[in-house]
C-alpha cells in the first residue's frame, strides 16, 4: 500500500470531509491541503491526536461502523504523509491544491480556502513570532486566510489576486524550510 494518496483516494477523501463535516470542520481538499502544509511546517511536531480532531471540527465524527472510521482516518493520514513528502522533497516547485474556478475570464486560482486552512494550521501549531524578514511570507498567506484581509482583497483586481498565487507558493516553501531548520537546530 502506497504511503501517498492517489487521485481516486483524494476524491473519496473530499466526499468524506463533506459528509462527516460540520460548521467547524474542514470541508474541502483545498482547505485541508493548506492546513496540512502548515501542520507539516510547524515549529513543533503536531501529533495526529491534535490535528485529526481539528480536521473534523473539534472531535471525530460519529461513524456508522469501524470500517468507515478507519477509512476516514487512513485517508487523512495518507494525505498528511503526501504533504509531508512533497514539502521535504520540493526544491522550488510545490504542488499545492488550490481551488480553480472556470470564469468568463478563464480559469482562476482561488487562494482563500487554502489560505484559511493554512492559518488554521498555524494556530494549531502554536507558531511563534517569525524573524522580520520572514513575516512578509506569512503575511502573504494571512492576507487571503484571515477575515482581517477581506477589505484589502475587495480592492484588488483579478490580476492582482492571480499575481498573489506565486507569492503564496513561495511563502509556503520558505516557511517550511525555515521551520524545518529551527526544529533541527
pLDDT at 153: 95
Hey, what domains does the chain have and what are their CATH numbers?
Answer: 7-184 (1.20.120)
Q: pLDDT (tens digit, 9 = 90+) per residue, 30-80?
A: 999 999 999 999 999 999 999 999 999 998 898 999 999 999 999 999 999
Which pLDDT score is estimated for 160?
Answer: 96
* Average pLDDT along the chain: 94
- Please check the confidence at residue 99 and state whether its pLDDT lies above 70: yes
Cβ contacts of 105 within 8 Å, gap of 6 or more: 158
pLDDT average, residue stretch 126-141: 96
DSSP letter (8 states) at residue 99: E
pLDDT reading at 90 higher than 80: no
Instruction: Give, for 142, the enclosing helix (H) or strand (E).
Output: helix 132-145
Amino acid at each position: 500500500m502506497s504511503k501517498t494518496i492517489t487521485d481516486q483516494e483524494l476524491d473519496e477523501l473530499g466526499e468524506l470531509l463533506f459528509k462527516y463535516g460540520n460548521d467547524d470542520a474542514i470541508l474541502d481538499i483545498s482547505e485541508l491541503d493548506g492546513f496540512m502544509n502548515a501542520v507539516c511546517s510547524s515549529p513543533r511536531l503536531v501529533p495526529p491526536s491534535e490535528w485529526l480532531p481539528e480536521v473534523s471540527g473539534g472531535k471525530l465524527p460519529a461513524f456508522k461502523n469501524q470500517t468507515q472510521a478507519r477509512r476516514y482516518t487512513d485517508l487523512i493520514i495518507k494525505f498528511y504523509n503526501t504533504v509531508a513528502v512533497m514539502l521535504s522533497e520540493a526544491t522550488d516547485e510545490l504542488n499545492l491544491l488550490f481551488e480553480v474556478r472556470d470564469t468568463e475570464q478563464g480559469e482562476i486560482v482561488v487562494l482563500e480556502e487554502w489560505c484559511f486552512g493554512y492559518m488554521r494550521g498555524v494556530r494549531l501549531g502554536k507558531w511563534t513570532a517569525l524573524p522580520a524578514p520572514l513575516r512578509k511570507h506569512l503575511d502573504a498567506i494571512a492576507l487571503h486566510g484571515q477575515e482581517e484581509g477581506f477589505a484589502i482583497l475587495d480592492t484588488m483586481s483579478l490580476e492582482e489576486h492571480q499575481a498573489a498565487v506565486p507569492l503564496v507558493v513561495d511563502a509556503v516553501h520558505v516557511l517550511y524550510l525555515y521551520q524545518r531548520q529551527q526544529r533541527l537546530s
